[in-house]
Structure 1
Amino acid sequence: MRIAMIAAMAKNRVIGRDNKMPWHLPEDLRHFKAMTLSKPIVMGRKTFESIGRPLPGRHNIVISRNSQLSIEGVTCVTTFDEAMTMAGDCDELVVIGGGQLYQQLLPKADVLYLTLIDLDVDGDTVFPEWDDGSWQLQNSVTATNDKGLQYSFNTLFKKC
């Protein structure tokens, strides 16, 4: 099973502020849906709470320290190993946040789907730094939305 991470981040690595994304970029939301649909997605409890509901068309798995956590329509686990077991036989499992999970699981990731947004924003959550020498950019598509905001969808694979 391939372990992927998906995130949108500003130039200064910010991915969140007060458990929300500090921008509104519908193009990225469509990209997120396309990249995660029909796949198991793994997130921390705070990320789930910020979304507010299970995302349809995906096996939603929430990792929490609270072993008693129970959420309708969601598989709740306490470790990433449990999450992988619960994901079952799939080609790719996608980690969708938040910051603590990205930090913990980046060494296990095989692929990064990163939306880079041409902004510097204030925030309290950042995507962890990675060793550029360990990752190979496979694909990058740059666009500008109707409000003039430039962004790029990037796919990086871990080098063997």
Structure 2
Amino acid sequence: MLISMIAAMANNRVIGRGNQMPWYLPADLKHFKQTTLGKPIVMGRKTYESIGRALPGRHNYVLTRDSHWQSDGVIAITALQQAIELEQLNETEELVIIGGGELYRLFLPFAQRLYLTFIDLNVGDADTFFPDYEPDQWQVSVESAHQADEHNPYNYRFVQFERR
């Protein structure tokens, strides 16, 4: 099974501030939905709480240290291996880690694919960052650049990387 990660980041690998994304980029939200729809997703508890609900059209796994934690529409797990084992039973081809920062750091060594959105934006007082993914270990398989427009206030690039 392919383990992948999807993230949007501003300059300097910023992905969050105060448990929120410090930008609104509709094109990236659409890209996220198109990329993850129909695939199982894994998120940390803080990410789940910032979203506030299970995302429809996907198996939602929430990784938490609290073995008693539960919420409607999600499967609580205490180890990524639990999600992998459950999805192998379903013959799932790809499992997508959607954040946050702690999950990205923990599982980057196991990821074979990255779906990254690079946003041309400087964010001050950031507290969450995407880990250094060592670009020499990755090969670009898909890339598209986009200019800011009336709906998307920043220049941005979608880049898909495959591990070498």
TM normalised by structure 2 equals 0.94
Stretches (4+) displaced over 4 A: none
1:64 equivalenced with 2:64 (yes/no): yes
Name the CA distance, whole Å, in 1 between partners of 2:148 and 2:61: 32
1:154 equivalenced with 2:142 (yes/no): no
By how many angstroms is 1:137 displaced?
0.8
What residue number does 2:85 align with?
85
Q: CA RMSD in A?
A: 0.9
What residue number does 2:128 align with?
125
5+ long unaligned stretches in structure 2: none
What residue number does 1:138 align with?
141
Partner of 1:18, secondary structure, is coil
By how many angstroms is 1:87 displaced?
2.5
By how many angstroms is 1:12 displaced?
1.1
TM-superposition CA deviations, 1:80-118 (whole Å, max 9, x none): 111212234201000000000000000000000000001
- After superposition, residues 73-112 of structure 1 pair within 5 angstroms as 73-88=73-88, 89-112=91-114
Partner of 1:128, secondary structure, is coil
Aligned residues with identical type, % of pairs: 52
Name the CA distance, whole Å, in 2 between partners of 1:116 and 1:60: 25
5+ long unaligned stretches in structure 1: none
Residues 4 and 113, structure 1, Cα contact 8 Å, conserved in 2: yes
Partner of 1:139, secondary structure, is strand
Partner of 1:12, secondary structure, is helix
TM normalised by structure 1 equals 0.96
By how many angstroms is 1:135 displaced?
0.4
The one-letter code matched in structure 2 to 1:138 is S
**Number of matched pairs:** 159
By how many angstroms is 1:72 displaced?
1.1
Partner of 1:21, secondary structure, is coil
